[in-house]
Amino acid sequence: MDLKDKLDASSTNLRKWPDQIMMIFAPDAVLPEAWFDESFLPVIPAGGKDMGFITTDGIQHEESLSSANTSVLQRLRPQRSDLEGIEESLTVAFSEDNAWVQCLVNFVPFEDWPETKDGPWQINRGNVTQLPEYRMVLLAQDGVGSAARYRVIVGYRIKVSTKAARTMSRTADETHGVTLALLEDELLKSTSDEFQNGPAYLPTDATAVASLIADGVGSVTITKTGSGYTVAPSVEFTGGAGSGATATAVIEGGKVTEVNVTAPGTGYTSPPAVAFTRA
């Protein structure tokens, strides 16, 4: 047995995220109920501040688990483990020194952020007794066009928890790195929600070609299995100068895997076209 023939895997499920947008919102901002439209494209909410370029390190999304083990005298290994806490965070370094980045990394409440990020800015590092909260939406894209997949991460309550050192030099790019703590929203009972969708998940139609035996349809060969079938589609033959051919489709895993000819029909001088119609 060769294991590679048994492997259930797909290269279409490998992800890289070259295009990303991080947006910061007011802590009471109203967010969409649905994050994707009927075309499976992401909904970009109004009122957010696009933070601009991110360094090539990307964004690190971490959930740190803390637990306590229980051991007993008669055993060397722990006999029980109890979860004590989960701390969720996002770490990001911004390549831009725009006004909105400066406001975020210097704990400016959202209502005091300027309307534009490209103008001059001024930061007063006075006494800070409580860090402001924000809402955050991260949009990421893998693939383009009909092959695109989109990831949406929504942080309902975020705060800056740590800041990275900033370097100002002749050769190094100035970046502004922060870790954002994701806190539980009291109403939603969630720190964040994550969604993935896109045109790549839209159902595709199966295709097939017919072959003749004498003047009737003898078999049907599937050329594309399609996707998204929940019930078997109907099969129709058109053209070929004949009539009366019928067939049934078989689906497995949302795909058309087989077509069985139930009646060959008569009078066909060329293979008829095969069409599948969703129920």
**Element counts in the chain: helices (H) and strands (E):** 1, 14
Domain range summary for the chain, segments of one domain joined by +: 16-201, 207-277
Predicted confidence at residue 10, as pLDDT, reads 86
Of residues 30, 28, 29, 24, the one with CA closest to residue 52: 24
Q: Are 99 and 56 in contact (CB under 8 A)?
A: no
Here the contacts of 115-121 (C-beta below 8 Å, separation 24 or greater) are 117/49, 117/50, 117/52
Average pLDDT by consecutive 10-residue portion of the chain (279 residues)?
A: 86 95 97 94 96 97 97 97 97 97 97 96 87 98 96 98 94 96 95 96 95 97 94 97 97 95 98 96
Please give the model's pTM, rounded to 2 decimal places.
0.81
Predicted confidence at residue 279, as pLDDT, reads 86
Output helix, strand, coil percentages for the chain, rounded to the nearest 5. 10, 45, 50
Q: Residue 148: CB partners within 8 Å, gap ≥ 6?
A: 141, 142, 198, 199, 200
Predicted confidence at residue 236, as pLDDT, reads 98
CATH-assigned architecture of domain 16-201: Roll (2.30)
Rounded CA-CA distance 258/249 in Å is 6
Rounded CA-CA distance 11/187 in Å is 39
Query: Residue 254 carries which side chain, given as an amino acid letter?
Result: G
